[in-house]
Each structure stands twice: as structure tokens, then as C-alpha cells.
Amino acid sequence: MSHNLEGKGRDLLSKLSRTIRSGAETLMQETKELTKVGKLKVEVLSLENERAKKFEEIGRLAHTLYKEGGTIEQLHEHFEAIDEIEAKIDAKNKEIEKAPAEEVQKAESVSTPQDEAVSRMYCTQCGALASEDDKFCSKCGNQLR
Ligand SMILES: [Zn+2]
């Protein structure tokens, strides 16, 4: 991983996060009363949102490269940006794991803001976001129902 590419990825990431920041800030404000674990989960949520957008972007770029002829190297900075996001998600999930069990339970009993809470749940094993329709966690494979 070269520092140059890392820097580029970070630039892109900061641009990207600016575009979603307003939404994330609203979410943070509404969840002020949450526990530390709850806040971490909201942060993980917004990072996963960022990652999903990044994947979409890569999909579009890959298609453009396919059509116009390019090299996969052109996507590297995007892959690295995703690595960075995943490192942040891992770090926050580890913090959540370290938290006392009763705090985690408290956080799980607090629902996310109404309009966001449609079909949102978390894996009890790794804390990854899962949809209510999911039978298994997409991250660790834990059985959810
Ligand atoms: Zn899981």
C-alpha cells in the first residue's frame, strides 16, 4: 500500500464523507441520549453507509473501465478507501465488544431514530448491521433468527 495512493483515497473519502455528513450529524443529534455503545453503533452504521456508497461508486467505475478500456489499477485508490472504512468499522466493533454486556443490551433496546428504524437490527455476535429479513449475518454468518 503506497502512501501516495493512501492519500488519494483519503481525499476521496473526505469528499465523500462531506456529502453524507449532514445526514450523519442529524442522526447523531437525535441519538444524543444513547449510551456510548449506542453511539458507536450509530457510527458504525454511518461508516457502513459510506462503504456501501463506495462499493456503488466502484461498480460504476468498473463499468466505465470495461466500456472505455482502462486498467484495474485505476480502482486501487477506491479499494484502499474501503479498506480504511473497514478498519474504522472494525475498530468501533472492537470497542463495542469490550463494553460491558449490560451496556450492549441497553444499546440494543434503544431503537434508532424513527425514520431510520424501519428494518434495522444488529448481529448479536459481531454487531454488524443486518436487515430484519436476514436469516444469517452477512459479516460473520451468525444465525440471526
Ligand atoms: Zn455477525
pLDDT in tens, 92-132: 999 999 888 887 777 776 555 544 445 578 888 898 888 87
Torsion of CA 19, 117, 41, 6, to 10 degrees: -30
Q: 94 CA to middle of ligand 1, Å?
A: 13
- In whole angstroms, how far apart are CA 12 and each of 6, 56, 88, 108? 10, 14, 16, 33
Residue from 53, 46, 44, 40 nearest 12 by CA: 53
Q: How high is the pLDDT of residue 83?
A: 96
On whether the CB atoms of residues 8 and 77 are closer than 8 A, the answer is yes
Q: 74 CA to middle of ligand 1, Å?
A: 32
Q: 126 CA to middle of ligand 1, Å?
A: 4
Q: 140 CA to middle of ligand 1, Å?
A: 4
pTM as predicted? 0.49
**How confident is the model over 1-15, as pLDDT tens digits?**
445 556 666 666 666
Q: 107 CA to middle of ligand 1, Å?
A: 16
- 62 or 25: whose pLDDT is higher? 62
Q: 86 CA to middle of ligand 1, Å?
A: 14
Q: How high is the pLDDT of residue 19?
A: 53
- 34 or 116: whose pLDDT is higher? 34
Q: How high is the pLDDT of residue 51?
A: 95
Q: 133 CA to middle of ligand 1, Å?
A: 14
Q: How high is the pLDDT of residue 2?
A: 46
Q: How high is the pLDDT of residue 1?
A: 47
pLDDT over 50 at 52, yes or no: yes
Q: 128 CA to middle of ligand 1, Å?
A: 5
Q: How high is the pLDDT of residue 129?
A: 87
Q: 104 CA to middle of ligand 1, Å?
A: 15
- In whole angstroms, how far apart are CA 123 and each of 40, 56, 97? 14, 23, 12
